[in-house]
Amino acid sequence: MDFRSFQSSSVIDPIKLQYAIVNSDSLTVLKSMQNDTIDLIMSSPPYNIGKAYEEKTSIENYIETQEEIISHLVRVLSDTGSICWQVGNYVNKGEVFPLDIFYYEIFKKHGLQLRNRIIWRFGHGLHASNRFSGRYETILWFTKTDDYTFNLDSVRVPSKYPGKRHFKGPKKGQLSGNPLGKNPSDIWTTIKEDWDSEIWDIPNVKANHPEKTVHPCQFPVELVERCVLALTNENDWVMDPFAGVGSTSIAALKNKRNTICIDKEAEYCEMALERIKKLEQGFLKTRPIGKKIHQPSINDKVAAVPNEWVNLDIFGVYK
């Protein structure tokens, strides 16, 4: 593997790390890797839905190919390590196959333990007409052993009621929360709302998200950052076997972790390298972790009920 060194341009907090962007088939690369070397594997695999970078096949063939890759992922994962597998649905002739159900079986068969099934919720997307519109995907978080890294304090979020106190018992009157914030829970409403509303090109909202590249299904850096911060320590190794334009590696390097990124498409690997260079020079724009989600204001024209609908008495949802 061809490793490069990453040295941030920051004078206040300079960092030295290693990274590799490998333009290859992930199974080939994984076969050459040593056991127990990676602390976090975070990825969004192809969903077998006929995107430009994949050939659609039967669900059985798809799962069989993925299983061979997963057996190597489990082998290269350290004993304190985690795998975060971000997936949605495979849809065939209108029938929905939730991929996490299929993947759960595979990871379990290879001895991993599920710690959370995280719901990544978003407010925009395709509008279905023969079923309810899908507005979430999942991240399966598995560990290899019971002795896994989990830094909850690194990812706490502001509590809704920080002033809440115990109202009875020996702690009566004392603050009941944690000054560092609360557990972010297993439902994550991160960037996707902003992300989609911005790329849907809605008037009054910026037309381009700062992270958007040529890739058709990039995940937001912020989503990976939460996993990197909670499940690894500084100088650990983070890998993505289906890396696209390198969002996992960006999140890793940004937070002082070494990283390996594999993708079979040269164009995406070049883009990943370009993004890493920009990060190194301090120019890469990413959405800050924990930034509030865009809420349309009542003065926002597209958020108001149009006059044409106000007097319609169909189902009354806008009354």
Ligand X SMILES: C[S@@+](CC[C@H](N)C(=O)[O-])C[C@H]1O[C@@H](n2cnc3c(N)ncnc32)[C@H](O)[C@@H]1O
Which residue from 70, 1, 54 is spatially nearest to 32, judged by alpha carbons?
A: 1
- In the range 83-122, which residues lie near ligand X by CB under 6 A? none
Q: Does 195 bind ligand X (CB under 6 A)?
A: no
Q: Does 46 bind ligand X (CB under 6 A)?
A: yes
Which is closer to ligand X, CB of 80 or CB of 88? Answer: 88
* Cβ partners under 8 Å of residue 242, min gap 6: 26, 43, 44, 45, 46, 262, 263
| Contact pick of 215, 226, 254, 287 for ligand X (by CB under 6 A) | 215
Q: How far apart are CA 216 and CA 54, in angstroms?
A: 12
Task: Break the chain down into helix, strand, coil percent, rounded to 5.
Answer: 30, 20, 50
Which is closer to ligand X, CB of 143 or CB of 249? Answer: 249
| Contact pick of 37, 54, 154, 202 for ligand X (by CB under 6 A) | 54
Tokens representing 231 are 């499940």
Q: How far apart are CA 227 and CA 151, in angstroms?
A: 10
Give the strand pairing for 16-23 and 95-98: unpaired
| Contact pick of 244, 253, 254, 280 for ligand X (by CB under 6 A) | 244
Residue nearest to ligand X (CB): 244
Q: Does 247 bind ligand X (CB under 6 A)?
A: yes
- In the range 216-235, which residues lie near ligand X by CB under 6 A? 217-219
Contact between 278 and 284 under an 8 Å Cβ cutoff? The reply is yes
Q: For ligand X, which stretch binds (CB under 6 A), given 110-118, 141-149, 261-269, 305-313?
A: 261-269
The site for ligand X (CB under 6 A) is made up of 25-26, 44, 46, 53-54, 215, 217-219, 242-245, 247, 262-265, 268
